[in-house]
Amino acid sequence: MKNLANMGNADKKPKIAISIGDLNGVGLEIILRELKHTLSVCEPIFCAHKGVLYQALEILKMRARESSLSESGAPKSDVSESASPESASPESNLPKSSHIDFDEIKQLLDSLPERHFAPPAQKELRIKADSSIDKASGAYSFASFIKGVELAESHASALLTLPIHKAAWKEAGVAFAGHTEALRARYDKEAIMMLGCAQMFVALFSDHIALERVSACISVESYTRFLINFARAFSFTQALVLGFNPHCGDNGAIGGKEDELIQKALRNANEALGREAYAGIVAPDSAFAPHMRAKFRVFVAPYHDIGLAPLKALYFDESININLNLPINRVSVDHGVAFDIAYKGIAHTQSYRNALDFGIAESKTPLESKKSLDSKNAPESKKSLESKTSKTPSRQLILASTSPTRAEILRAHGIEFIQLESGFDEDSLQTSEPKSFVFQACQGKMDATLKRLRAENRLESALDSGVLVADSVISVGGVLQRKAKSAKEARNMLEFQSAKRISVITAMSYQSARGALQDMSACHLELDAFMLDDMLLYLDSGEWRGKAGCVMVEGFHRRYIRRRLGLESCARGLSIERLLAFWEIV
C-alpha cells in the first residue's frame, strides 16, 4: 500500500508540533478531518498517543452512523458494538452531509511513522466524549501542551495548540489559566496575545484577568513597554490604539486617568520606536466602523472583550490566536472546546487551517523580519527599523537597554537617544553578592554592546555620541534579589521586602570618545507593610516582570515608601544626576 503520509519531501517541510487540547472537545476531530491537508503542507508532530487519534476516529464514525440511523428511523441497538480501529462502519450508513472520508483518514493514520507522534508523560486515556469537564483530560491536555513546548524549544519550527478547557486544567491542579499564562511563567516574558486574521488583528494589553483589575494594571510604563514590545514582535505600518473608558473619558469627565496614561504611553512608544507606529487613542465604539477598518488592520485594545467582541462578530470562523514576544512561535485556533458539537463532524476547521498557515509562515522567516498577514498595508520589519536607526545622527546617545523607565528618565531631561538590546546574559554570572553582581552585569552589558557595534561597523559613530548601559539589583539585608522568573518567586520577594529597609543598587557605565564614566549608587527605601490585596493586584498586573526584586518605585512601591535615602532616579534604574554632572566636566 502506498504510504499516503509521505506527501512530498518531509525534509523540506517545516516541523510543526501540535498539542491536541481537551480530549472531549473538537480538537481531535479537527486534527483528523484536516489530516490530509496538514501532511501536505508540513511535517506534523502530534503530542499524543497514536491510539488516542484512533479512538477519536472511531467515536467520530459512530456518531456519524448514529446520526444517519436516527434520521432514517432505523434501530440503534448496533451503533456502539465495537470501537476498535479495525471495525469500520459502512460508508452507506454515514450522513451524506458529513463529507468525511473515514477510510482515507484511517489509511493515513495507519501509514504515519512514529516520528509523527510525541506522546506526553501521561498514560493513554480513554476518551469520554460526554461533554464533561474531566480532570484526567485536563491533565492529559496540559501534558500534551508541555510536550509541544519542549519540541518547539528543540527542533519544531512552531507550536500549534488546540483548545483546552480552563476548568479541566484547574481540576487537574494546573496553576495556569491557559496557554499564554503558562508560557509567560516558563519564559519570564510578557507574552502578548494577538488574535485575528488577514483582514484584522487585535492585540490585547490585558487578557485573562477580571475586568475590575484592568484599571490597576494600566500605567505609563507598563503600556509603553507593551506597545514597544508589540511593534518589535509584529510587523505593521500603523496600529490604532483604543481608549479605556467610554468616549476615551471625555477629557476626564468619565472614569479615572486611564486614557490619559494610555495616550502618554502611545507618545513614548512612538518616540522610542522612531516612527509613528501608533495612532489614537480612539473610542472603541467607533474604532471598528467600516471607514476605520478600511484605514487600519491592526488594533490595540486595553482589555479582552473590548477588542475581541467586534473581531469575533466579523471573523469568528477565520480568526486565530497568536503569542508574540516569546522565544518560540506559538499559534492557536481562536475558539473553545465546543463540547456541544464535538465528534459530530460539523466543527469549522478554517481557524485551524489559518493557524497552521501562520505557523508555517513563521517557520520560514524569523518573526521580526516576516511580512505581516496584513496584505493591505506595506509592513515594516524590525530589521528595516534597525537599519533606519543605525543612520541616526551621531548626536543621539546609544542606550543599551530596553527599559521604558530608563528611556523615560532620559526623555524627561531632553536627551535624544536610540535604544538597542545589549544581548548580555545575566544568568552567566556566578556571584550572589549584590554590589559585585550589579557591577559585573553592567560591565558585561557594555562589553556585549561594544562588540555588537563593532561587528556592525557602528562603533566609531556610536562613541562620538556616547554609549550608556545600566543595571540594578535589590538588596534586602544583604540578600540579592534579581528579576523574578515566576509569579510565585515574585510574591516571595515582595513578602520578604514588606515592612523592611531595602536597597536599590544601580551601576552605570558610559563610554564616549571624550571620556568614560563608571558609577555605582544606592538608594535606600524604608517600606511599610504591604497590603495583601494591593500585592495580589500588582502580581496579577504583570508589571513586576523584568524589574529587579519586582521593585517599582513609580508604581506599586511608591505608596509604601516611608522614607527614602538617596536619589529617586537611582531607585528607578538610572542615576541621571551623576551622568549630567560628568557631561559638564567633559
390 within a domain of the structure (yes/no): no
Within 8 A by CB and 6+ apart from 251, the residues are: none
Q: Answer whether residue 58 shows pLDDT above 80.
A: yes
Considering the domain architecture, whether residues 285 and 360 belong to the same structural domain is answered as: no
Q: Is the dihedral of CA 70, 75, 81, 82 positive or negative?
A: negative
Q: Domain of 476: which CATH number? A: 3.90.950.10
**For the chain, how many structural domains are there in total?**
3
For position 301, what pLDDT does the model report?
A: 95
Percent of the chain with pLDDT over 90: 55
Residue 175: its pLDDT value, please? Answer: 84
d(CA 352, CA 338): 14
Asked whether residue 139 carries a pLDDT value surpassing 90, the answer given is yes
pLDDT score, position 451: 92
Q: Is pLDDT of 366 > 50?
A: no
The whole-number pLDDT of residue 555 equals 83
CA distance 412 to 50: 60
Same domain, 332 and 452: no
Q: Is the predicted pLDDT of residue 86 greater than 70, yes or no?
A: no
What confidence score (pLDDT) does residue 568 get? 85
Based on the fold, state whether residues 127 and 274 are members of the same structural domain: no
pLDDT score recorded for residue 263? 94
Residues 308 and 332 in one domain: no
Query: What was the pLDDT predicted at 363?
Result: 66
- Let me know if residue 92 belongs to a domain: no
Are both 184 and 201 inside the same structural domain?
A: no
What is residue 494's predicted lDDT score, i.e. its pLDDT? 96
Starting from the edge strand earliest in sequence, which strands make up the sheet with 239-242, in order? Answer: 43-47, 15-19, 158-161, 330-333, 320-324, 192-197, 200-204, 298-301, 239-242, 278-282
Report yes or no on 579 lying in a domain. yes
Q: Given a cut of 90, is residue 32 above it in pLDDT?
A: yes
The CATH code of the domain that includes 196 is 3.40.718.10
Predicted pLDDT at 271:
93
How many residues are listed for the chain in this entry? 586
**Confidence bin at 375 (pLDDT 50/70/90):** very low
End residue of a domain, out of 311, 346, 366: 366
Per-residue pLDDT band at 142 (split at 50, 70, 90): very high
User: Looking at the structure, do residues 559 and 531 belong to the same domain, yes or no?
Assistant: yes
Which of 325, 356, 377 is at the close of a domain? 325
Check pLDDT > 60 for residue 370. no
- Per-residue pLDDT, 26: 95
Checking if the pLDDT of 394 tops 50, the result is no
On the question of pLDDT at 169 being above 60, the answer is yes
Range scoring the smallest mean pLDDT among 33-37, 77-81, 268-272, 422-426:
77-81
Same-domain check for residues 201 and 278: yes
For residues 382-391, average pLDDT:
31
What is the pLDDT of the chain when averaged over all its residues? Answer: 84
pLDDT digits (tens, 9 = 90+) for 8-25: 455 578 999 999 999 999
Average pLDDT over residues 444-467: 91
Please report whether residue 264 resides in a domain: yes
Among 24-38, 376-390, 499-513, 523-537, whose mean pLDDT is lowest?
376-390
216 and 174 within one domain: no
Query: Which long-range contacts does 438-442 make (Cβ < 8 Å, 24+ apart)?
Result: 438/471, 438/472, 438/473, 438/505, 438/506, 438/507, 438/520, 439/507, 439/520, 441/471, 441/473, 441/507, 442/469, 442/470, 442/471, 442/507, 442/508, 442/509, 442/518
Residue 2: the pLDDT is 37
Same structural domain, 237 and 262: yes
Model pLDDT for residues 484-534, shown as the tens digit of each residue:
999 999 999 999 999 999 999 999 999 998 889 999 999 999 999 999 988
Whether residue 290 lies inside any domain: the answer is yes
Residue 83 predicted with pLDDT over 70: no
- Partnered with residue 502 across adjacent β-strands are 525
Question: Contact 156/85 with Cβ under 8 angstroms?
Answer: no
The identity of residue 168, as a single letter, is: A
Q: Domain containing 530: what range? A: 397-584
The residue out of 275, 308, 325 marking a domain boundary is 325
3 domain-assigned: no
- The mean-pLDDT minimum among 347-351, 496-500, 552-556 falls in 552-556
Task: For residue 87, give Cα distances in angstroms to 64, 78, 97, 440, 576.
Answer: 14, 13, 22, 67, 75
pLDDT in tens, 321-334: 999 999 899 999 98
Mean pLDDT to the nearest integer, 230-245: 92
CA 142/CA 174 separation, integer angstroms: 8
- Which DSSP string corresponds to 484-515? -SSHHHHHHHHHHHTTSEEEEEEEEEEEETTE
What is the pLDDT averaged over residues 369-379? 35
CB atoms within 10 A of CB 185: 17
Would you say residue 456 lies in a domain?
yes
Give the pLDDT band (50/70/90) at residue 258. confident
Domain shared by 217 and 331, yes or no: no
The verdict on 440 and 467 lying in the same domain is yes
Please give the pLDDT value at position 5: 46
What's the pLDDT at 69? 59
Q: For residue 86, tell me if it sits in a domain.
A: no
Could you read off the pLDDT of 520-534 as tens digits, one per residue? 999 999 999 999 988
Domain co-membership, 178 together with 214: no
